[in-house]
Structure 1
Amino acid sequence: MIRKLCAAVLCVAVIGTSGADPVLPKAPPVRLAVVNSYGEALSVRYFSATVDAIARAVEPRQLLIHEYDPPSFLKAAKTNAFDISIASSGLSSLMLERTNGSALLTLTSFRAKDPNHANGAAVVVRGDRTDLQTKGDLAGKDLAVVGRQAFAGWQVPAGDMIRQGLDPEHYFGSVTEVGMPMTNVLDAVKSGKADGGFVITCLLEELESEGKVKPGDFRVIGERKGDSGFRCRHSTMLYPGWFLSVKPSLGSADARRVLKALLDLPPSGRSGLYWTVASDRKTMRDLFTLMNLEPEPRGIRWALREYWQYVFGAAILLVILILYSSVITGMTRKRTVALMKSEEDRLRAELELKKQSEKIGSLEKVRAVGLISSMLAHELKQPLAVIMNYAQGLEMRLSRGTMKEEALRHSLSEIEKAGEEADAIVDRVRNFVKGKESAHVPLDLTSEVNRTVETFRRHTDSPITVTVPWSPTLIVCGDPVELGIIFMNLLRNAETATSKNDPGHPPRITITMRREGERAVAEVADNGPRLTDEAFSRLSELGKSTRKEGLGLGLGITKELAEGLGGSIKFERRSERGLTVTVTVPLCPEDKVKAYWSEQKTKNA
């Protein structure tokens, strides 16, 4: 009795339910992405049977079809814009590695019986281009491609070139991206806008079978032979055929029904397309490594994309800190500038006071370093020139193989003597700087003056004329460096004094030498402007200068050196214009001269 009651209630419930019209939530559509390589509606022509089978498998859900080129396909995958995709094996693999999903099936046909070797590239040229027979003939020519993200349209042939040691980016004269569909490449080659192009395998065969391209319009160069089971002309290695992939947004039940429907689908179309499973993806991984097309590294771009909110917040905080720091820095700078100005004024006053209180003698020694260095360089030129001449002569004779032992010994001896002379010059200048008394030796004053004049002429830029009339031999006891400093200073001062002469008085210096008793007298006269009484009186004061910008140190050193030789310096205004400086130095005693030359002969013996 209870069983009958329950059955009756169940019947009523079923009848009541069947009589009602329940409202069920509408399932979202299934989104199919197809990469369009051929230029027509693929869902109608090339993949019509596949699309129909997928539509039936996902019923009652609606199937929406979207066509993409390679770049937009990869972008759409990042935004989860589709659930199922049909694309080349390479493009699909990059998409799956960079996002998520799984490749279920591989497309093949009667032209490619092995799904692992069903996709590649053909390098095409116009059929009447007899000058293009090999890939090497395309060097420096114009190339057309759909884009650098296309698997068969760029990555596959570029990878083959890299394996051959070629750089695909610089091998051709130009690489023009004409965009999808791939028939754009054929149009560019046919019109002459490009010399050659990269296209997917079997494209020519498919278009020729439909009558859209005449046999002979295009020719495949670098054609590979020996790939059994592949009936399309190709110029590269072969890779797996196109993949059908699913994203996690497609439920497992729908994915299973799609898989079963496509595996049960018989070959369709002129090409006999059917879906199967590829078992070898190593060739693609090797190509990705070669082309540096590994999945996106987690670098700066990835970090910015994943954590842009935090980066933006940190940037705002950084801007606030920078503005705050700028305000504080500006306020601090104003106060610092005021303090620095006050400190600078104080330091300037102290420095001025210090300059006024410094002793002229100390200042004179400091400024003398420049002059001494100049004279040192002058004195060293002669021994260094001897060393260089003998060294160059030795090198030339050694290179010719004519060097004899006697000549070698003579040259080395001369080099040694010149080195000793240079060492002596350095010692004399060092002793002068340190205030030590230099060794005075017999010197021909006339020769020393003439040598100083020659040095002055070589280094002056002014049109001044220096005249040295003949004079007798005047042997004085002194140091060649000190004598050079004395007369170089006098020449420079005379040059400065005559630099402002008017055109009617060309600058001129005259040096006359004579003997007066036991003293040698040298007069340096110039024709510069006549000195005022004030300027002339300052000449006798050590450290004073007749020029506003001068320190008067040159004449101070000159007087000190002359007095060190036992001599003196006197200044005299000439009657019309100019100044005469008279340097008086004792002559060297005759017995000292003989002893010196005797000693030199003994050393040189």
Structure 2
Amino acid sequence: MTKEQQTTPGGITRAVCACAFALFHLLSAETHASVKNQPTVRLAVVNTFGNNFSVRYFNGTVNAIAKSLDGRRLIVQLYNQDEYLKAAKENKFDLSIASSGLTAVMMDTLGGTPLLTLVHARTPNPNKANGGVIIANAKNGNINSIRDLKGKSLVVMSKKAFAGYMIPMHELERQGLNPENTFRSITEAREPMTRLAEKVRDNEFDVAFLASCVLENMEQEGTLKPNEIKVINPQNSADFYCQHSTELYPGWILSARSSLPATMVRKIVISLLEMPVGKSNGEYWTIANDYQEMNTLLRRMEQREFMERDIPWLIRRYKHYILSAVLFLLFILANWMYLAYAVRKRTKELKDTVEENLAFERENLKIKDRFESLQRVNSIAMISTMVAHELKQPLAVINNYAEGLGRRITKGRFKTPQEILPIIEEIRSEGQRASSIIDLVRRFGKKDKHERQTFDLGDLTAETVDMLIRVGTLTTGYELKCGKNILVTADRLNIEVVIINLIKNAVEACRAEASPMVVISVSAKDQDAEIIVEDNGPEISDEQFEKMKFVGNSTKKDGLGLGLAIVHELIEAHGGSLVLKRKKEGGLICVVRLPRCEEKE
């Protein structure tokens, strides 16, 4: 047979090890036959008196039960009162040894059967074998009677303890005190009652409730001296030889749960009735036959627990919690009121801000309309100048071709009409280009978007250079470097105007040089297509370079300052950029970048 033990929350001392060791050797005859799958019987013992006394007191009982189990293992577990009721609820034991009151509470709620009552030499009457003891420090002259308990601090093992709480509380009530407001504080130590006596002796608490005979056992063991503790409201009763402060009730009870077979229960009862009287305390098992007063007390405690809980009692009992709840509700209410005020204030501020923003936006729209009106007036002047600027080239070509055609006809140089057709075709082409330029300028003034197409920027640059050579615009030396398959999606005419303006500006800038040279290159740079037009014109001063950024300013004597402005406008409309750079040796580099499309396969 084996023995299992666990410590209580209050902290069982090192004597637990001694208890486990003693019980283990006590039952060693059974443990040799134990096996893992061997059936077990679980015995619960309420550890009220402390480990050392419990070992001695229940030594013979454990032996007698173990011998009657027909080969089953006996497992012994120590509990305090709260753990005992919890273990009963969870069906953790089959047999139990507890006070009569605690056993009655367990059986009333969870079931079970009382079997025998334990008595000893000091308590020979099984019906009057247990009572409560109210103790105080012997040197405390302020506590001499039950009336003196008012306002004192009380320590108990548990509020579920029968002799250690219920019986003394009933005694206070019987003498006219209200148990609910007698003490300043009530502490549940959840430790053996021997520790409670030590706490009172050491002045940790004013008063303690013990079960009868605890003091005698401590004095017998030498852990307490007779003159250290005094009993409040001492009683004298026949056939009861322990100090007590209350009426007496049945002693400790052995009870069985329904998990044990009836035949085994019978064998256990017979074995315990035949158990010899204990040598140290004269303990033996017998049968109690009067539980009336105990049941009356339990009913009274239950009635008082519920009947006296009226509104004044609830207020007295839970005044701190009620006050905390009221303060919490007041805090919630105040917080809610503050939040409501803050929300209203913030809402008003937001509403005012929105109205201010709307008023600001309306004013901005008015300003924007006035600005656009002024800009439109300025654009009209700019557009008029652009018309003259851009139409100058095709009209000059048309005029030249017309004069040349007239002279040749006058001199009779055309033998057949077919010889005239190429010249007429050139005039018609330049007329169409002039018409396209007018459309371009109209769109520029209206900010309209023209239909765009994907084309090779290198091819367009080469065609534009060829056209400028034919019409006599590109009269300087030049170098053309065009990459292949450099695709952009843009308005083809707009980009042609850009290239024309850049090349014309370059030619006019370097024409007076000894060896004028214009370099045109088209290449791919990262995700962009890049057109670079550079010349070897004269050196440009800081003032001249700064003026190039503004419309109407030109470095040429007869320039209008519109070429670069038009280029800049058209390039930005296509999501591109124009960058101007001065060359150290003289001349200008114009770099145009446009977003590049995917290459054709």
TM-score normalized by structure 2? Answer: 0.44
TM-score normalized by structure 1? Answer: 0.44
Larger Rg: 2
